[in-house]
A and B are shown apart, each in its own frame.
Chain A
Amino acid sequence: MSREAFVNAAILLALLAVPLWALANDEPFTITLATRAAILALAGVGLNVALGLGGLVSLGHAVFFGIGGYAMGVLASHAQSYDPIMEAPFLIEGTKSMPIIWIAALVTSAIAALGIGALSLRTSGVYFIMITLAFGQMAYYFAIGWPAYGGEDGLSIYVRNGFPGLNTLDPIQFFAIAYTLLLLALLLVWRLSKSPFGLALNAARQSAARVETAGIRPYTLRLTAFVISGALTGLAGALFADLNRFVSPSMLSWQTSGEIMVFIILGGVGRLCAPVAGAGMFVLLEHWLGGTGEFWHIWLGAILLFVVLFARGGLIGALAGRGRTDG
Chain B
Amino acid sequence: MPTALLVEQLLNGLQAGMTLFLMAAGLTLVFGVMGLINLAHGSLYMVGAFAAAAVAAATGSFLLALAAALAAGAIAGVVVEMVVIRRLYDRDHLDQVLATFALILIFSEGTRWVFGSFPLQLDIPAWLAGPITLPGGIPYPLYRLTIIGIGLAVAIALWLLIERTRTGIRIRAGENDREMISALGVDISRLYTLVFALGAALAGLAGALVGAIQSVQVGMGEPVLILAFVVIVIGGIGSIRGALIGALLVGMTDTMGRILLPSLLATITDASMAASVGASLASMSVYILMAVVLVWRPSGLFGAAT
Check B287–A51 contact: CB distance below 8 A.
no
Please, which residues of chain A bring their CB within 8 A of the CB of B99? 304-305, 308-309
Contact of A134 among B93, B226, B237, B299 (CB under 8 A): B226
Contact of B93 among A125, A131, A298 (CB under 8 A): A125
Interface bits A299-310 vs B (CB < 8 Å: 1, else 0): 011101100110
- With A122-B294, A145-B276, A305-B84 already in contact, the answer to whether A129 and B105 are too (CB < 8 A) is no
Number of B interface residues at 8 Å Cβ cutoff, please give it.
Answer: 47
> Of B66-74, B106-114, B153-161, which stretch is located at the interface?
B106-114
What is the bound-complex CA distance between A144 and B281, given in angstroms? Answer: 11
Interface bits A264-285 vs B (CB < 8 Å: 1, else 0): 0100010000000000000000
What is the bound-complex CA distance between A272 and B48, given in angstroms? Answer: 42
- With A122-B298, A301-B105 already in contact, the answer to whether A127 and B84 are too (CB < 8 A) is no
What is the bound-complex CA distance between A301 and B283, given in angstroms? Answer: 30
Contact of A305 among B102, B279, B287 (CB under 8 A): B102
Check A262–B101 contact: CB distance below 8 A.
yes
Check B226–A262 contact: CB distance below 8 A.
no
Kindly state whether residue A210 has any CB partner on chain B within 8 Å: no
What is the bound-complex CA distance between A153 and B99, given in angstroms? Answer: 31
Check A147–B276 contact: CB distance below 8 A.
yes
Contact of B280 among A134, A145, A295 (CB under 8 A): A145
Check A134–B230 contact: CB distance below 8 A.
yes
Interface bits B88-104 vs A (CB < 8 Å: 1, else 0): 00001111011101111
Kindly state whether residue B37 has any CB partner on chain A within 8 Å: yes
Check A57–B298 contact: CB distance below 8 A.
no
Kindly state whether residue A123 has any CB partner on chain B within 8 Å: yes
Kindly state whether residue A261 has any CB partner on chain B within 8 Å: yes
Kindly state whether residue A6 has any CB partner on chain B within 8 Å: no
- With A127-B298, A127-B299 already in contact, the answer to whether A141 and B92 are too (CB < 8 A) is no
What is the bound-complex CA distance between A129 and B90, given in angstroms? Answer: 18
Kindly state whether residue B290 has any CB partner on chain A within 8 Å: yes
Kindly state whether residue B291 has any CB partner on chain A within 8 Å: yes
- With A57-B97, A131-B294, A134-B226 already in contact, the answer to whether A141 and B280 are too (CB < 8 A) is yes
Check A297–B108 contact: CB distance below 8 A.
yes
Kindly state whether residue A138 has any CB partner on chain B within 8 Å: yes
Q: How far is the CB of A272 from chain B (nearest CB, A)?
A: 17
Q: How far is the CB of A66 from chain B (nearest CB, A)?
A: 15
Q: Which residue among A130, A258, A300 has the maximum number of chain B CB atoms within 10 Å of its CB?
A: A130
Q: How far is the CB of B50 from chain A (nearest CB, A)?
A: 16
Check B97–A59 contact: CB distance below 8 A.
yes
Kindly state whether residue B87 has any CB partner on chain A within 8 Å: yes
Check B87–A309 contact: CB distance below 8 A.
yes
Closest B residue by C-beta to A310: B87
CB within 8 Å of A: which B97-139 residues: 97-99, 101-106, 108-110, 112-113
Closest B residue by C-beta to A296: B109
Check B226–A133 contact: CB distance below 8 A.
yes
Kindly state whether residue B3 has any CB partner on chain A within 8 Å: no
Please, which residues of chain A bring their CB within 8 A of the CB of B229? 130, 133-134
Closest A residue by C-beta to B99: A308
Kindly state whether residue A196 has any CB partner on chain B within 8 Å: no
What is the bound-complex CA distance between A151 and B279, given in angstroms? Answer: 12
Kindly state whether residue A142 has any CB partner on chain B within 8 Å: yes
Check A141–B284 contact: CB distance below 8 A.
yes
Closest B residue by C-beta to A302: B106
Contact of B98 among A133, A142, A151, A304 (CB under 8 A): A304
Check A129–B93 contact: CB distance below 8 A.
yes
Check B294–A258 contact: CB distance below 8 A.
no
Check B222–A298 contact: CB distance below 8 A.
no
What is the bound-complex CA distance between A138 and B287, given in angstroms? Answer: 6
- With A129-B93, A130-B233, A304-B98 already in contact, the answer to whether A297 and B226 are too (CB < 8 A) is no
What is the bound-complex CA distance between A296 and B99, given in angstroms? Answer: 17
Kindly state whether residue A240 has any CB partner on chain B within 8 Å: no
Check A301–B103 contact: CB distance below 8 A.
yes
Q: How far is the CB of A289 from chain B (nearest CB, A)?
A: 11
Given contact pairs A123-B306, A131-B233, a sample of 5 additional A-B residue pairs in the complex whose CB atoms are under 8 Å apart: A59-B97, A130-B233, A254-B226, A262-B101, A301-B104
Interface residues of B (CB under 8 A from A): 31, 37, 84, 87, 92-95, 97-99, 101-106, 108-110, 112-113, 222-223, 226, 229-230, 232-233, 237, 276-277, 279-281, 283-284, 287-288, 290-291, 294-295, 298-300, 306
Instruction: List 24 A-B residue pairs with CB atoms under 8 Å apart, sorted by A's residue number.
Output: A119-B294, A123-B294, A123-B299, A127-B237, A127-B300, A130-B233, A134-B229, A134-B230, A134-B233, A137-B223, A137-B226, A138-B284, A138-B287, A147-B276, A265-B94, A295-B109, A298-B105, A298-B109, A301-B103, A301-B109, A302-B102, A304-B102, A304-B105, A305-B106
Q: 9 shortest A-B CB distances, which residue pairs?
A: A145-B280, A301-B105, A138-B287, A298-B109, A304-B102, A141-B283, A301-B106, A305-B102, A130-B229
